[in-house]
Structure 1
Amino acid sequence: MTDVRFENTSATTQTNVPVTFGQVFAVGHLKAGEQLSGRLDDGTTVPLQVDVKAKHADGSIRHAVISAVLPSLAASTTRTMSLVKGGTAPTGSTSIDMLMRNGFSASVHAKLNGVDYYASADDLLKRSSATTWLSGPIATEWQVHAPLQTASGVQHPHLQARFAIRWFPGVNKARVDVVVENDWAYEPSPQNFTYDANVIVGGKSVYTKTGMVHFNHARWRKVFWFNGTEPQVDVKFNTAYLLDSKALPNYDRSLKIAESALTTLQKRWTGSNIEPMVGAGLAENYMPATGGRDDIGLLPGWGVSYLLSMDKRARMVTMGTADLAGTWSAHYRDKLTDKPVSLLDYPYMTIYGQASDTMNPTTGKREAFPACATTDGCKTTLTHDSAHQPAFAYLPYMLTGDYYYLEELQFWAMWNQFSSNPGYRQNVKGLLQQEQVRAQAWSLRTLAEAAYITPDSDRLKSHFTQILNSNLDWYNATYTNNTSANKLGIIVNGYALGYNNGSGMAPWMDDFFTSAVGHTADLGFDKATALLKWKAQFSVARMTAPGTCWIDGAPYALNVRTNSTSPFFTTYAEAYKATHTSDFVALACGSSAMAASLKLKVGEMTGYAAATAGYPANMQPALAYTANVMGTAGKTAWAVFMNRSVKPDYSTAAQFDIVPR
C-alpha cells in the first residue's frame, strides 16, 4: 500500500520509541474494518493503532491517525515501515488514573496586572469530562480546557488554556500539547492582554515569556513531554503515495529540492519572527503585500519543499509556521459549541459592514461581533486577508493528525466566510463571488480542504460541505450551465475586471482560481469537475488558439472587451488582438523577430519566465489541471507550454511546479 520511514536524529540508539502520524489513503485502498499493521525492513511486525478520522464516499478510509511503538532505532539511521493489511490488533488498556499514578501534572500560568491566573491539566482531568481524540492501548489523547482563573476561582473572561495529553502507557510517557487562547467570538470587550507566561510540566518550568502581548482573537501553542524526553525521530512519508491519493496537488516528484534552499529555510527560522504573538514564521507579516513570494499557492513553498524532500529542516519550518498561524487575529471560537464559530449557526456574522447588516430575521438578534474594548486595544503586528492567504495547516494536519492544526484549518476557512458583508455572500450560503479573483481562489482552496479532511464526527464537516456546494452551485449556474456566460472561460464577477479602465482582467489571478477548482475536483467534489472543464478552455486557448501566440499567453492583464460597458469578446483571438498592437500581432509566433521586439530569447514567454513565481509559473498549475480533463486539446496545450525555452529553477521554490496526472 505505502510505507513510512523513521529517522533517528540522535547519535544514540533509542528503544521503545513512541510515534504518532497522520496518513491519507486513496479511495478504496483501506476498507472500513480492515486491520492495518506495520512491517519493518527486517521483517519485524509492529502493531498499529489506527484512529480513523474521515472516510471516502465509498466507506473506505480517507484519513487516519496512526500510533505505534518502534522496538529500536539505531543511532543516526533510518528504518522503513510498510503499512500492510492484516495482523493482530494491539491489546491492552489505559486510563486517566494510570496517567495520574505516574505523577502527571501540567499547568499554565499568566501574571496579568499583578494578578496570577492559571489552569491545571491534572486538575481538569480529575474533575471534568475529557474529550478523547485518540483512543487505544498504544496511545490515548485526552483534551481538556478551562478559563484561566485566580487562586480564589475568579475566571478571566477571555483567556483560556487547552491541553491535549497524549499518553503512551507502554512506555509511560506523555506528550503535552499546550494552547492558550484569547478568541471567544462573542465575549464583550475583546482586546489584547499583556502578561508573563509560564508553563510547568511535571513540576518543572518548561516555557516562560515575560511581557507577552496576547493578541485578540489569537492563540499560541507549545508542545512538551512528560516523564522523559521527546523521542528524537523524524517521520518521513511516501511522497508518491500522497500525491497519487489526490489529497495533494500533483507536484513534480522528479524535482530535487536544492540543498541551498533547505539550508536557507533553516537559516530563516530564527529570531523574534518565530516567537508566538510576535511574528508569523516564514509567512509574510503583512499578508496584503503585493508581488510574488513563496507563501502563495495551493501549498506554500516551504510546504512543497518538505513534501518533495521529506527533509527535517523543511518539516520544522512547515510545522512551525503552522503553529504560528495562531498569532493572527483570525480565530473566533463559539462558547456554545466550543468549536470555531460557524456560518450555519450565525449566517449574518461579519467583521465588516454596518451593525444593521447583521440582523438575523429568524432570531431577531444582531450577529455582529463585539467591538474592541478600546480604540487601540486590538492593534497587532500582523495584517491578514484572503487574497494572499497561505495554506497554513492542511498539510500539517494531514501528516501529524494534531488537533491544533485541524482547528487552524477550520478557523481560517470560517474567517474567509465572515470577512465579507452578509448580504454580498448571501448570508448562510457563504458565497465567495464578491471578492477579488485571487481571494476567491485561496478561500475556495481552504474551504475544500476543510470539507475534505475534517473528521466525519465533527459537526463542522457538514457545514463546510454545505458552504462548498453552495459556492460550486453558484459558479456552475453563473458560468458552466449558463448559455449567456462569456465564451472565454474567464471569471468576471467580483473585482475581476479591474484592469485597463474596466476592459481588462488578470489572467494570473484567473489561473489561481482554475488551479483551486482543479484541486477541489481532485479532492472528489464532482461539481468542481464541471466547472474545471469550463474554466480550462481559457488555458487551452492561450497556448493554442489560431491567430494568437503562446509567447504572451501569461500576461499581467488581458483586454476582454472594448470598454467597461461593451460585451465580452467571443474568442480569445479577439482579446489577444485588443491587447496588442497590430505590428506585434503580425509577427510570426515564436520567431526571432518576436523575441527581438520583446527583448527576450527565442521561445521565452513574457511575464518573468525564469521566475518561480512569474506569470508563466502562475499559469502552470492551471494548465496541469487542464491537461487532466481536456483530452487531446489539454495535452497539446501542456506540450506547447513545456516546450518554452526559459523555465524556472523550481528546486529553490516549487509551489507552482504542478504537472498533469
Structure 2
Amino acid sequence: MTRRTALGAGALAGLGALFPRTTFGAVTAAPLPTPGPGELVSLMLEGSGAPAGTVAVFGQAFHPGDLPRGQGLAARRADGGVLTTQHDVVARHPDGSARFAIVSIAQSFALPAGRSSGIVLFTTGEEQPADPQLPADLAARQLLLEVMPQSGGEPWRVDLIALLQAQKPEERDLWQAGPLAWQTRLTLPVPLWAVSGVTSLRLVADVAWHQDGTVGADLWMRNDVSMQPGGGAVAYGLRVVLDGREILQLPELRQAQYTAFGRRVGLASNRRPAPVPPLVRHNVTYLASTGAVARYNLPVGVNASLLEGYARSAGGANWNRPFNPRGITQDMPMTGGRGDIGPTTQPQAAWLMTGDRRAAEYCIGQAEAAGAIPWHHWDAQPGASGWLNVAHWPRLWTDGRGGPPPGGLSQPVTDAGGWTPEGAHQPDLCFVPFLLTGRRAFLDELQAQAAWNIMSHWPDPRGGAEANIVRGQQVRGMAWALRQLHEAAWISPDRDPHRTSFAAQEDRNWAWMAAQLPQWSEMQGEAFGRVLSPYEPLTELRPWQQDFLASTAAAAARKGNPQARAVLAWMSNFLVGRFQSGNQGFNPRDGVAYIIANAGQGQSAPYRNWAEMGRETRARNWSNGKGWQRTEGNYAQTARMALAGIIDVLDTAEAKQAYAWLVGSGAPFTQASDFARDPTFNIVPRGQV
C-alpha cells in the first residue's frame, strides 16, 4: 500500500532553499517537499558545485508495499521536472516489495554549493532488469593496484578492470547494474610473496562506473582471514593508478590482523578528479516510520558548535592518516559520558536530525575507521567463505582465553593497535552510514561486528551453536549485541547467506528471552519487568541499562519481530511502573536514579513489590528524595527514550502518562537545549513530530 507522507511547511520551489537553517541557536533541517497522492517520500539534494549530469547514489529504506516487486522508481523536482533514476533492490519485505534499495539519480541541473533542491520519489512503469554486462566506458579504462613488498622486489600488480572483462557475466558479484550506475565486487587473496608469507590479507574491491563518466573503486585491504596457518600482522605499500594517473600512494602500511583498511578512489573520463555528487538528505520521519531508525525530535535541532567540531576534526591534518581512530573510543570498556553509546552514535543522531554535510562526512569517516577495530574474522575454509559463525565453529571463542583451535583463534588477537573491543560499550558505527549511503563496504563492517558479537561470547552461556548472546551478559551488553544482530539481519541482502544466519540467530535470542518471561514474572512479583544478569550484583538495579535494552527491543519490534515485542511488553511493567507507583511506596523520581535497590544482601531472589524497592532505595541513600541528586547523568534521557519506544510499539495509555510525567518533571538534562547539545537520546513517541 502506498503512503502519502506530509512533511514540512509546503513544497519547495526548485532551487533556492538554504540548507541547513538555524533556529534559536540550533541547526535544523530545511523543510522537505510534500509528496502528492500516490507518491512515496521526499528528499533534499544539497549542492556541491558539481555539473549537471552528476550521478548521486544513496541508500533508501521503504515501507512494505511502497515499492512492489517489478515496479519502477522515478524522481521529480519540486517544480515538476523528472530526474533519471535507477534503483537496485538489496533486501525485500515478505510481500516481495523493496525493504532497502540503492538509488541512483542523475542531477539534471547544476546545483551550486550551499544551495539545495527538493525531490520526491514515486513509482512508475516497470523495474529495470539488472544488466551484468560490463559498461563499454568502464571496459575502456584501466585501474591498476599494486601491493609493494616491504622487503623489496617486484610489486604484486593487478588490473582490476581487465579481471572484470575476463569474468563471465553470470559470475559477477553485482551491487548495481543499470544505465546510471554499475558496480561489482572483486575479492582476491594477496600473494604470499608480496606480504612476506602472511596468509590472512585479501583485497576486496568494489569497482564502479557512473553515467557521468566517473570510474572508481572502494578498495579495502582486509587482513581478516582466520583459522588457517600463517596469518598475522603485515607490512606493505599500496599504489593505485587509474587511466595512467597515480591517485593513491601509501608506501608504508602496517596492518594488524583482524582489521581492514579502505580508501575510495575515482576519476572522471578526462582523467580529472571525479565530481563530488550532491549530498542527499533523507526524510528521517519516513525512515523512522519504516522502523529503520528511531524517531528523533527533529525540530529541536543540533547546536552549531557540535557540527563545527565535527568539521574541525574531519579537516585536521591527521584525519586521513591510515588507521586513525577518527574520534572513536579505542578503550571501549571506558565509562563516563560518551557520545558513541546509544541506539546510534551522537554524530549519527546529529546527521539524521540535520542532514548536515559536516555530520555526514564525520560519520562516514568513522565508519571507514571502524575497519581498524580487530573484530573482523573471515572464514576462508572450503564451504564457509564468510564471517566466522557457530555453524562451522560451535565452540570457538575469539577471546584469548579460547586456547588453540577449535576453541580459539589460530592466531590470538595480539597486535590490537590500541583497540580494546568490548560488547557492553560497543558503538554502532556502520548501520546508519550504510542505510544512508548504500556503500557496500559499510555492510561488511556491520556484518563483521554482528558476527563478532556471537563469536566473542563465551561458548558455555552461548550454548555453542545455539548462539545465545543474552544469557550470561551484562544487560547493556545484551542491548548492544542484539542491536548489531537485528540490524544486520534486517538490512543484509536477500541473496547473502549471512542474512539467513543472522535472522535465525536473532529470532532464537528473542525467543529464548520470551520463554523466560513466565518464570521471571513469578520471581519478580508485582514489579516484574526487570531483566537481570548474573554478571551484575542482584542487590542493585541500574534502570538506564534496562532502558538500553528496551531501545533495542523497540527497534526490533518496529522492524516486525514479534518476540522482541513480547519482551518489550513484559519490560514495560517495570519501565512504566517506576513512574506510577508512588502510592505503593516507590518514589517516581527514583525511576531515573543511577541505582535502585533490587534485592537484600545475601538474598537469592529480587524484591517482589514496589514498596520494598522504594524503602531499600531510600535506606541505602540511593534515592533522589524530593530532588535529583542521584540523577547526575543522562538517565532521564534514556528513560524518555525507553518510554517513547514503548508508546511507539504498544501505544498504551500508561506509557503515555508516564512519559508526560517525566517530560514535565524537570529531571536533569531533559530541556531542548540539553538535547541540542547532545542529540543521542532525543527520541520521541510517534505523533509528537
Name 2:17's counterpart in structure 1: none
Name 1:324's counterpart in structure 2: 369
Q: CA deviation at 1:370?
A: 0.2
Which residue among 515, 529, 554 is the counterpart of 2:551? 515
Q: CA deviation at 1:210?
A: 3.7
Aligned CA distance change for structure 1 residues 631 and 90 (closer, same or farther; 3 Å): closer
Which residue among 289, 294, 300 is the counterpart of 2:339? 294
**Aligned residue type for 2:191:** Q
Matches within 5 A, 1:192-591: 192-226=233-267, 227=269, 228-232=272-276, 233-271=278-316, 274-275=319-320, 277-335=322-380, 336=382, 337-352=384-399, 366=406, 368-372=408-412, 378-432=415-469, 433-479=471-517, 483-487=521-525, 488-495=528-535, 497-498=536-537, 502-545=538-581, 546=583, 547-581=585-619
Cα deviation 1:621-653 (Å, max 9, x = unaligned): 112122332611111110111012242511121
Name 1:171's counterpart in structure 2: 212
Cα deviation 1:445-490 (Å, max 9, x = unaligned): 1111111111111111110011111111111111257553423311
Larger CA deviation: 47-56 vs 477-486:
477-486
Name 2:221's counterpart in structure 1: 180
Name 1:632's counterpart in structure 2: 653
**Aligned residue type for 1:212:** L
**Aligned residue type for 2:45:** F
Aligned CA distance change for structure 1 residues 450 and 262 (closer, same or farther; 3 Å): same
Matches within 5 A, 1:45-56: 45-56=82-93
Matches within 5 A, 1:114-133: 114-115=152-153, 116-128=155-167, 129-133=171-175
Q: CA deviation at 1:620?
A: 2.1
Cα deviation 1:146-195 (Å, max 9, x = unaligned): 12238999985222212111112x33322311111110022324322222
Other structure's SS at 1:553 match: helix
Tell me, yes or no, if the aligned pair for 2:198 and 2:230 is still in contact at 8 Å. Answer: no
Q: Is 1:60 aligned to residue 101 of structure 2?
A: no
Tell me, yes or no, if the aligned pair for 2:540 and 2:596 is still in contact at 8 Å. Answer: yes
**Aligned residue type for 1:191:** G
- Structure 2's unaligned 5+ residue stretches are 1-39
Which residue among 59, 62, 74 is the counterpart of 2:111? 74
Tell me, yes or no, if the aligned pair for 2:199 and 2:231 is still in contact at 8 Å. Answer: no
Which residue among 162, 177, 186 is the counterpart of 2:204? 162
How far apart in 2 are the matches of 1:450 and 1:274?
Answer: 28
Other structure's SS at 1:15 match: coil
How far apart in 2 are the matches of 1:58 and 1:476?
Answer: 26
Aligned CA distance change for structure 1 residues 80 and 561 (closer, same or farther; 3 Å): same
Aligned CA distance change for structure 1 residues 91 and 527 (closer, same or farther; 3 Å): closer
Q: CA deviation at 1:275?
A: 4.0
Tell me, yes or no, if the aligned pair for 1:357 and 1:422 is still in contact at 8 Å. Answer: no
Aligned CA distance change for structure 1 residues 278 and 584 (closer, same or farther; 3 Å): closer
How far apart in 2 are the matches of 1:403 and 1:572?
Answer: 49
Name 2:36's counterpart in structure 1: none
Tell me, yes or no, if the aligned pair for 1:621 and 1:659 is still in contact at 8 Å. Answer: yes
Larger CA deviation: 458-467 vs 194-203:
194-203
Aligned CA distance change for structure 1 residues 319 and 379 (closer, same or farther; 3 Å): closer
**Aligned residue type for 1:201:** L
How far apart in 2 are the matches of 1:249 and 1:31?
Answer: 24
Aligned CA distance change for structure 1 residues 252 and 294 (closer, same or farther; 3 Å): same
**Aligned residue type for 2:557:** A
CA root-mean-square deviation: 2.6
How far apart in 2 are the matches of 1:276 and 1:417?
Answer: 31
**Aligned residue type for 1:369:** L
Aligned CA distance change for structure 1 residues 92 and 579 (closer, same or farther; 3 Å): closer
Other structure's SS at 1:428 match: helix
Tell me, yes or no, if the aligned pair for 2:174 and 2:183 is still in contact at 8 Å. Answer: yes
- TM-score by length of structure 1 reads 0.89
Larger CA deviation: 572-581 vs 17-26:
572-581
Identity of matched residues, % = 24
Aligned CA distance change for structure 1 residues 202 and 558 (closer, same or farther; 3 Å): same
Name 2:639's counterpart in structure 1: 619
Larger CA deviation: 306-315 vs 21-30:
21-30
Tell me, yes or no, if the aligned pair for 1:118 and 1:148 is still in contact at 8 Å. Answer: no
Name 2:665's counterpart in structure 1: 644
How far apart in 2 are the matches of 1:408 and 1:108?
Answer: 24
How far apart in 2 are the matches of 1:377 and 1:515?
Answer: 34
How far apart in 1 are the matches of 2:479 and 2:555?
Answer: 10
Q: CA deviation at 1:570?
A: 1.1
Name 2:65's counterpart in structure 1: 28
Tell me, yes or no, if the aligned pair for 2:205 and 2:219 is still in contact at 8 Å. Answer: yes
Aligned CA distance change for structure 1 residues 346 and 44 (closer, same or farther; 3 Å): same
Tell me, yes or no, if the aligned pair for 1:91 and 1:137 is still in contact at 8 Å. Answer: no
Cα deviation 1:505-554 (Å, max 9, x = unaligned): 22111211111111111111111111001011111122111222222221
How far apart in 1 are the matches of 2:579 and 2:137?
Answer: 63
How far apart in 2 are the matches of 1:430 and 1:480?
Answer: 22
Larger CA deviation: 32-41 vs 149-158:
149-158
Larger CA deviation: 347-356 vs 422-431:
347-356
Name 1:19's counterpart in structure 2: 56
Tell me, yes or no, if the aligned pair for 2:586 and 2:613 is still in contact at 8 Å. Answer: no
How far apart in 1 are the matches of 2:126 and 2:572?
Answer: 48
Name 2:12's counterpart in structure 1: none
Name 1:139's counterpart in structure 2: 181
How far apart in 1 are the matches of 2:331 and 2:495?
Answer: 36
Other structure's SS at 2:226 match: coil
Name 1:601's counterpart in structure 2: none
Other structure's SS at 2:504 match: helix
